[in-house]
Amino acid sequence: MAAEPTSTSSTSTTSTSITKKEFPTWTIGPKNNQVQFPTMALNTVGLSAEDTVRACTIAVQYGFTHFDFHPGKERDGVSQFMKLGKIDRSKLFLNTKIRKPKPGTSPENAAIEVQKQIDEDLQALNTNYVDMLMLRDSPDCEVMKSQWAVLENALLTGQTKSIGVVNYCEESLRCLLKSCKIKPAINYYYLHVGMTSSGTSMLSGSELLRGYKLRDYCDRYKIKTFAYGAFGEPEANKSIELLSNPLLKTIGDGTNNIYNFKNHGDSSRTPEEVALRWVIQSGAAVSVRPTLDYGLGKSICSASSSNECESSIKLRSDVFDWSLTGEEMNKLTNILKSDDNPTLFSSAGCPDSFSL
């Protein structure tokens, strides 16, 4: 299991008496071009521009500096937030995704579209660089390779500080690794309680016989795992009932006498806190929605729900303040024992690929 990043946490109090935290970071990227990657991000997926501004404004008060957004309205919301001057650009980690090309797009045209989007995003954000560009997978290996070459060039020319991939299964990674000059720093994919790598003591013998799973494959090539869907994604396979699983509640509130609060910060924890802590403690970074009021591709942090949005973001920011015991981690890992392939939005050719 990958070690959890070490926090260099320092705290200060804002004018509104909110304790601002500093989340642990990873050092990622080539040795001659490394960057600090905050291991928890605010995921703005599905937010309106207005709600993105609101969520970012709340999040920075609780230590979030890593914003994970899509091109379009989310990006425009991040841009509007930056104009407010709440935090220096140098302290932000801006992370965006390259759009998938339309089916049938040639490798050459796909590459042109990538560069066009990079230029468009930088102009919209009014910045010279983003901190990470993430490439979505494709069923066409040649398309992925041509797109990746553009991201490598963007890294070398300073348009981005790091590059990664989204929803890449082992076959997709193998495609890139055959020809890339710079490996992806991270693989961003769906990961929640019960999804783990083989080769750990958490699994039974029959589970180990499956061979390498995705996290093992990424680890072999020093590609770090960046997770979304820690609370489950509606309509995705087996995840819709994740937070109602009684084990998460049992571990969080200590109703079973084999659990105690010595590692929980002397406090009970909600199922969502337990689910989030499992992802972090398993060695992954994580991108979190502002609240649990979301659906597939949509989220809310509206003016009418700003109190809920703030309390939920604060709850997420506390994840580094406590830990699960080894026994708790083992029990949570074995809830579903499902493959950790990126089944949500992954391309045809990935195991159990899922699409709208």
- Number of domains comprising the chain: 1
Residue 312 falls inside a structural domain: yes
Residue 4 falls inside a structural domain: no
The secondary structure of 32-97 as a DSSP string is: TS-EEEESEEEE-TT--HHHHHHHHHHHHHTT--EEEE-TTHHHHHHHHHHHTTSS-GGG-EEEEE
Measured between alpha carbons, how far is 211 from 118 in angstroms, rounded to an integer? 38
Residue 49 falls inside a structural domain: yes
Residue 106 falls inside a structural domain: yes
Residue 5 falls inside a structural domain: no
Residue 100 falls inside a structural domain: yes
Identify any residues that bridge with 338 across adjacent strands, giving them in sequence order: 195
What's the domain range around 76? 14-333
Residue 346 falls inside a structural domain: no
**Full pLDDT tens readout for the chain, 356 residues:** 444 554 433 333 333 456 678 999 999 998 888 999 999 999 999 999 999 999 999 999 999 999 999 999 999 999 999 999 999 999 999 999 999 999 999 999 999 999 999 999 999 999 999 999 999 989 899 999 999 999 999 999 999 999 999 999 999 999 999 999 999 999 999 888 877 654 333 333 333 323 348 888 999 999 999 999 899 866 544 444 688 889 999 999 875 444 454 566 667 899 999 999 999 999 999 999 999 888 777 888 999 988 999 999 999 999 999 999 999 998 998 886 555 656 556 776 677 665 54
- Would you state the pLDDT for residue 32? 86
Residue 326 falls inside a structural domain: yes
Residue 280's CATH number: 3.20.20.100
Measured between alpha carbons, how far is 281 from 252 in angstroms, rounded to an integer? 15
